[in-house]
Amino acid sequence: MNVLFLGLGKYKSINSRGIYLDLLREFVRGGHEVYIVTALEPESKEPFSLVKEDHAQILKVKTGRITKTNPIEKGINTLLLQKRYIKAIEKHYPNVRFDLVLYPTPPITFLKVVEYIKKRDKATAYLMLKDIFPQNAVDIGMMSKSGVKGLMYRYFRNKEKKLYKVSDRIGCMSEANVAYLLKHNPEVDPKKVMVCPNSAEIVDMSVDEATRTEIRNKYGIPLDKKVFVYGGNLGKPQGIPFIVKCLEKAKDIDDAFFLIVGDGTEYAKLSAYSERAQQNNLKLMKRIPKDDYDKLAGACDVGLIFLDHRFTIPNFPSRLLSYMQAKIPVLACTDPNTDVGKVITGGGFGWWCESDDAQAFADTVKKALSELPAHDRQNEENFLIQNYTSRKTFEIIMNSLGGDKAK
């Protein structure tokens, strides 16, 4: 079977790590040919690049800047994405017939590419729904359903509905995502919707005591504190003003140390707070290479997840997986609509509180500190193996296809 994956990631090799590449390697192991079409770095002088590996190809297409830019440039380049991808596929794969096309959201603007492949090749279209847009933008005030911004909302909402319609299968991150999708899109056939969670290969990213000491010394992190680490995007979805309130409330918890690593549109707000407060139990760092971050996370004690309380859609952050690989429990501070907190507490590998009460966060930190000595770090890996392996996600997708493609 020829599998086409449409993405935006900076994929260097099929053997690199990441939720999508981990999954695509399962297709390679299953004897399938994988073709990845993704975005080329805007700085590139070439219109495309092509990397060929065993049973896998990565075609990078110059798309213009889509991330870390202003909304206008991002919007224009996102809309042009479809034409550029179609043109690249026509040029490089005119004689390849794809049996399955996989595509995540964001963005929702792969619609025309999916329609093109379905019409040309009679391929099955599988949407991996990672982001419910444009409602998520409405939730945090980046878009509105009325006024001038309402025009943009209705445009993208129409695109969203068309994407659901053209998709033969829709894989959602959790049960809450399935329920939300069907409730707000009653025209979608429930038979084609299923739970297909974020997943990863089983990689032990925990560290021994000697390495733990070495890493903490390297980054200036105290050895005698329990380190609560957050790594990833620092933007509006994380509710940065609320995180600042949480850090302020927790500044006098002597046994806790808060490490925040990342960047994003709201980084400056955290940086300003860090400089102003001079908080003894806080360290803010810019994003570091993934391999370095993974080792750093393994040297910490608790992983943090933050989501803005205004969200009505059930987000399910993929950074949960990296904490589980590092064998550290998780403290999630989120809106009540996501079921990530329920999964964490039900699985016995962490704690949850709502992201509208900074004192509740501080109290939950204290609870975590009291329970850490008795916590079995094997819980994280066990839950990962039972629920979130890339092999399981591969099997979910293949089983949903039926017929000859599933053989």
Q: Could you read off the pLDDT of 15-62 as tens digits, one per residue? A: 998 999 999 999 999 999 999 999 887 666 777 788 899 899 999 988
The pLDDT value recorded for residue 73 is 63
Report how far residue 134's alpha carbon sits from residue 152's, in angstroms, rounded to the nearest whole number: 9
The pLDDT value recorded for residue 46 is 75
How long, in residues, is the chain?
A: 407
By CB atoms closer than 10 A (0-12, 13-18, 19+), residue 24 is buried
In 3D, which of 355, 353, 371 has the Cα closest to residue 363? 353
Sheet holding 33-40, edge to edge: 48-53, 56-62, 33-40, 2-6, 100-105, 124-129, 169-172, 193-195
Which ranges of 203-329 would DSSP assign to H, the alpha helix? 209-219, 240-249, 267-277, 290-298, 319-325
For the chain, domains (ranges, CATH) are 2-200+389-406 (3.40.50.2000), 209-386 (3.40.50.2000)
Tell me whether strands 169-172 and 350-354 are parallel, antiparallel or unpaired: unpaired
Report how far residue 338's alpha carbon sits from residue 321's, in angstroms, rounded to the nearest whole number: 16
Q: Indicate the SS3 state at residue 103.
A: strand
The pLDDT value recorded for residue 333 is 96
Q: Indicate the SS3 state at residue 182.
A: helix
Cα distances (angstroms) measured from residue 310 to each of 184, 237, 377:
17, 9, 32
The pLDDT value recorded for residue 237 is 86
Tell me whether strands 33-40 and 2-6 are parallel, antiparallel or unpaired: parallel
The pLDDT value recorded for residue 407 is 39
Task: Give one DSSP letter per residue of 345-394, joined into a string.
Answer: HHTTSEEEEETT-HHHHHHHHHHHHHHGGG--THHHHHHHHHH-BHHHHH
Q: Could you read off the pLDDT of 84-129 as tens digits, one per residue? A: 899 999 999 999 999 999 999 877 778 999 999 999 999 999 999 9
The pLDDT value recorded for residue 5 is 97
CA 164, 168, 173: angle at the middle one, nearest 5? 65
- Determine contact, residues 206/389, Cβ cutoff 8 Å: no
Which residues of the chain, if any, have pLDDT below 50? 403-404, 406-407
Report how far residue 130's alpha carbon sits from residue 198's, in angstroms, rounded to the nearest whole number: 8
In 3D, which of 80, 53, 54 has the Cα closest to residue 65? 80
Number of H helices, E strands in the chain: 15, 14
